[in-house]
Structure 1
Amino acid sequence: MKRVLPFALLLACSAPALGQTVDSEGAKQLTDNLARYFSKKPFEIGFLKVSVEGDAYKLAFDFKPVVELLAKQDGLKLDLTPYTLLTKPRSDGAWDVSGNLAPEGSMEFNGPQGPQSMKMSIKGGKFVGVYHPELAAFSSATSSLEGMNMTSQDARQRTEMSSGAGTATMSATKGANGGVDFSMVQTIADFAEVITIDNPNSGQKIPLTVKSPEFSVDAKGKGLRTKPILDLLAFAVANEDEAKLKANQAELKSHLLTALPIWERIDGAYSLKDFSVGSPIGSFGAATLGIAFGMDGVSRNGTISYGIKASGLSIPQNLVPAWSVALLPTDIDLNFGGANIDLDTMAKKAIEAFDLNNNPPLSADFGDGLKKDFLANGPKILIGHSTVQGGGAEIGLEGDMTFPDGEKPDANVTIDVTGYDKIVASLQEAAKTDPQASQAFTGALAIKGFAKTLPDGRIEWVINARHDGSVTVNGAMLKGPDPVVEDNTDQDAIPGEGNNGGAGAKLQP
């Protein structure tokens, strides 16, 4: 899906179909519409050609001209199969689009670590969708494949990836506040990846095998500014000449501002079942593993979120002492993020201030001003409610971090534990025979001494660390503020008295 959409998105440049007759004149019109956004160069070199095929237009991509251009670059080789899309005008102004999922082929080039190569093949890949120029997006689309193989290699690593059958569906509608709301769901069966790492120091090859019988992706977004982004693309094509671009930079700024906030919100999640990683030291795994990510667009008070959730965790037991196996986490739910993120002020000030006639376009001290404005909005680093379960106990965690002085942070973290006595009892029993467990048992008792017992039996630590260096736990001072650093530059002071013999500032008690 990811590989075919950049090609299919070319249709974003076409005008509404309105049930037009498919003929040579229509093919020319479609070519002109595409050239407005991607220039005439792809058509002039023969990379892309629009022609009539029955009651549809055929978009044929021939990679040979691209290969010839790339051949001029030392060590770069590209071999891709020809690729075509069929698009048919509809009476409602939309376009039916169909084709193979993606081209197949290989690539070789010289990278930082020496020669690199990549080869990809897709079996039974198909794509079908309905493209709406009014949305500048596919209102509906589906793709499928029977299987896929990809191999990449460089001097230090070889990766062989394969999958079984997969499907994807996507849809888009007009957003309530402008732009496009979209959703996409994708599933792939029998995902497998074999990574072989060459150790240049020892000459050993370290194999890693990643597997999951079911891999899925679920993404959605609100207010994606598809049409302003395309207008910006058309402006870039029309102003490829540097002098012309400088002369029209006021229009460029207008296009950039219109495209904000780029999107209102985008959220995505990856999920794997029966996930495993095989390694020379044993197998790591999880019954379920999920990663979620979300981000607001360019706004005054944006947020960002990131989460990792897993159940049925397992690791090679030979990696840890036997007494600790029962205490290992089996389920985790970790959540992090940020709030009060002011990208809007930064973006608008940068757009207003840049001048392409200057080198650099933004002044050297402009970044310092942006940083000051960003911190003035009070951004926060957040630890959302997170849990770690294992050994009959559950550890909860949440907190935040702010920057009141613009440099050093204030941090607040609350930790609570259910079943702490079970942890202590397990350590106490293991301490009878294992010195490491004895040390852990002593530490667990000491830590409990700072805890507060809640009405439901949980024990809790509220930790506050201030930008002055002080730390309190449940209101009790654990560490005082850092010593104040003073710089005594008295030129009349005797070396070793007051000015530390010229060695710099002294820490004052």
Structure 2
Amino acid sequence: MRLKLVTATSLLALCLVTTAQSAEINQDGANAVKDTLTKLLPEDMAKSGFISVNPAGTRYEIIYDLAKLLTKVDPAKFAISGLTPFSTFATPLDSGLWNIEGDNKLNVSGHFKDPDQKTTNFTYSIASIVYSGVFDPAISYLRSGTFAIKDVKVASKSEIAEVSARIASMDHKLSSTDSSGGNGRIDFVGSASMSGFVEQVSSLQMPPIELRAGSIHVDAKVNGLPAKQIREMVFFALEHLDEKELSAENTDKIKAIVKEAFPLLTSFSETIGVNDLAVINEMGKGGAKAFGYNLAIEGPSDAMRFGFGMNAQEISLDTPLMPANYAPFMPTNFDFQLAVPNLDFASFGDALMAVDFNDKAPEKTGEEMAKKLFRDGLLMVEFPKVSAKSEVYDLDMTGKIEGRIDTEKDYSMEATILARDLDKTIAAVQELAKTDPDLNQVSFGIMMVKGFAKTDADGRSRWDISVSRDGAVVVNGQQIKGPDGPDQDQGLETEQEPDQGQDTVPAPPQQP
């Protein structure tokens, strides 16, 4: 969206500040700030005048006039009105950092044509954008900041689709501290919240659909981030963007920067929580009282653990597409968590340093690097928790699968499955089988599985399942299936058709 372009452009320009100026605020200082803001921009953009800097008392006012970037654009293909300049105020501090702050708003409308020459009309408005923070030129990023956005409205309409969205408010906070160890790395902590989110979408190919969320909250933390080296990598990429092939000198330079940056972090975590989620269309309504997502990376660089999960509570579905007799089997709660441990980013980084960045066909190199990351190609996937609950079942599972990244056959599995009120589940399936006879087999299968179960102290049925690499299956200590035999064609010679004209000798008759 154009709103994202406006935001990205302003932040990019701000992040190009590389040194704090003297405490004296004057026009020479303003010109120096402007030079640092534009020095890595394309020449035509730098000369467009869309950035201007003026002394403003004890600070500098940086004015972004994005309309000046559009003077050469064909108005028949893209036009926008209401794009007024907005300001950021920057105050240099004796510490070399900058205080930044701003209070702006946005209310624009316009149109553009896609490659098929179809016109899309759009409007974007934000009643208030207020922010303040501390910017560190050494890393070209904020050390801390607070952002508050109110009353966001977005709409676009074309011949084939129409989209509108609104957000009552958005708030974001960021803070940072130097990582322990004095290695120049930084720990960042951020949080964000959103309220009153509504999006409506319709098109010729799809009936109208509406997505709602009462509130959304995000918490994120990253430790040990090499912010200075990441800044150097970004600047290197911008400086060499037009080069088709890197010179040996520049290849060594970027590898040195990457090597210093590894590992790119020591830990990372992110959680997203959505409350009162609803999806509505002409076929009905569905949603959840709460929906969550989590992501985490942690551990030493030679044995990092990647974790991912999703969960939902009080799931609801109201649609005629769901037959009433199947509704009890709809999960009302679920939780899915998985993890991949023992990722060797240290060896992966060493392998990356040996890569020829100018290689046009790095497939083999990619396979070798994958084996470094997964320790000789060995892969383990853990399932710390997988659960689902409805009116007629309550299931929990934990387990792990071990295998290789280069084959699907060589694997083993350990799992524990727990089920509460299994008789209730069997009765529900039997009742459903009265109208769907095919489910009689399902009911029979569940009863057979129940026969292998153990009963825990809390009354739940338990199955401890083990699948060996040789194919043997053991449930609660009882072997259900033996090891796989050798492939039938293994060790057998391939039969060949006789040559044309060659007589064949019949096999002698077998004695009775």
Which TM-score bucket, shorter chain as reference? 0.7 to 0.9
Instruction: Tell me which residue corresponds to 1:184.
Output: 190
Deviation at 1:287?
1.2
Deviation at 1:69?
5.8
Structure 2 residue corresponding to 1:132, chosen from 136, 142, 147: 136
Contact 2:171 2:193 (C-alpha < 8 Å) held by counterparts: yes
Instruction: Tell me which residue corresponds to 2:422.
Output: 420
User: Larger deviation: 319-328 or 282-291?
Assistant: 319-328
Tell me the amino acid that sits aligned with residue 268 of structure 1.
Answer: E
Taking structure 1 as reference, are residues 94 and 471 closer, same or farther at Cα in structure 2, changes over 3 Å only? same
Q: Which secondary structure state, in structure 2, belongs to the residue aligned with residue 14 of structure 1?
A: coil
Contact 1:262 1:297 (C-alpha < 8 Å) held by counterparts: no
User: Larger deviation: 421-430 or 310-319?
Assistant: 421-430
Distance in 2 of aligned mates of 1:124 and 1:473: 62
Distance in 1 of aligned mates of 2:121 and 2:486: 56
Could you list the per-position Cα deviations for residues 172-230 of structure 1 after superposition, in whole angstroms to 9, with x for gaps in the alignment?
A: 2222254221222222221111122432xxxxx41211112222222221122221111
Q: Which secondary structure state, in structure 2, belongs to the residue aligned with residue 93 of structure 1?
A: coil
Query: Is residue 2:479 matched to residue 1:476?
Result: yes
RMSD over aligned Cα atoms: 3.6
Query: Is residue 2:179 matched to residue 1:175?
Result: yes
Distance in 2 of aligned mates of 1:216 and 1:322: 35
Query: Is residue 2:20 matched to residue 1:43?
Result: no
- In the superposition, the TM-score normalised over structure 2's length comes to 0.82
Deviation at 1:97?
0.9
Q: Which secondary structure state, in structure 2, belongs to the residue aligned with residue 486 of structure 1?
A: coil
User: Larger deviation: 375-384 or 105-114?
Assistant: 105-114
Structure 2 residue corresponding to 1:449, chosen from 451, 455, 467: 451
Query: Is residue 2:107 matched to residue 1:108?
Result: no
Distance in 2 of aligned mates of 1:398 and 1:154: 49
Contact 1:18 1:91 (C-alpha < 8 Å) held by counterparts: no
Taking structure 1 as reference, are residues 225 and 39 closer, same or farther at Cα in structure 2, changes over 3 Å only? farther
Contact 2:306 2:339 (C-alpha < 8 Å) held by counterparts: yes
Instruction: Tell me which residue corresponds to 2:366.
Output: 367
Taking structure 1 as reference, are residues 328 and 436 closer, same or farther at Cα in structure 2, changes over 3 Å only? farther
Distance in 1 of aligned mates of 2:244 and 2:310: 49
Tell me the amino acid that sits aligned with residue 183 of structure 1.
Answer: V
Q: Which secondary structure state, in structure 1, belongs to the residue aligned with residue 24 of structure 2?
A: coil
Could you list the per-position Cα deviations for residues 323-350 of structure 1 after superposition, in whole angstroms to 9, with x for gaps in the alignment?
A: 4433432222211232222344334323
Instruction: Tell me which residue corresponds to 1:399.
Output: 399
Tell me the amino acid that sits aligned with residue 371 of structure 1.
Answer: A
Taking structure 1 as reference, are residues 186 and 66 closer, same or farther at Cα in structure 2, changes over 3 Å only? same
Structure 1 unaligned runs (5+)?
Answer: 200-204, 496-509
User: Larger deviation: 308-317 or 434-443?
Assistant: 434-443
Instruction: Tell me which residue corresponds to 1:221.
Output: 222
Q: Which secondary structure state, in structure 2, belongs to the residue aligned with residue 329 of structure 1?
A: coil
Distance in 1 of aligned mates of 2:351 and 2:152: 46
Taking structure 1 as reference, are residues 168 and 457 closer, same or farther at Cα in structure 2, changes over 3 Å only? same
Tell me the amino acid that sits aligned with residue 217 of structure 1.
Answer: V
Could you list the per-position Cα deviations for residues 28-73 of structure 1 after superposition, in whole angstroms to 9, with x for gaps in the alignment?
A: 332343345556664223233333233322222232453356659x
Instruction: Tell me which residue corresponds to 2:201.
Output: 195
Distance in 2 of aligned mates of 1:68 and 1:470: 72
Q: Which secondary structure state, in structure 1, belongs to the residue aligned with residue 154 of structure 2?
A: strand
Taking structure 1 as reference, are residues 102 and 184 closer, same or farther at Cα in structure 2, changes over 3 Å only? farther
Q: Which secondary structure state, in structure 2, belongs to the residue aligned with residue 391 of structure 1?
A: coil
Structure 2 unaligned runs (5+)?
Answer: 500-512
Contact 2:105 2:127 (C-alpha < 8 Å) held by counterparts: no
Deviation at 1:118?
5.3
Contact 2:222 2:267 (C-alpha < 8 Å) held by counterparts: yes
- In the superposition, the TM-score normalised over structure 1's length comes to 0.82
Distance in 1 of aligned mates of 2:239 and 2:227: 19
Amino-acid identity (%) = 22
Question: Which structure's CA Rg is the greater one?
Answer: 2
Distance in 2 of aligned mates of 1:282 and 1:371: 45
Instruction: Tell me which residue corresponds to 1:275.
Output: 277
Taking structure 1 as reference, are residues 34 and 450 closer, same or farther at Cα in structure 2, changes over 3 Å only? same
Query: Is residue 2:210 matched to residue 1:206?
Result: no
Taking structure 1 as reference, are residues 476 and 82 closer, same or farther at Cα in structure 2, changes over 3 Å only? farther
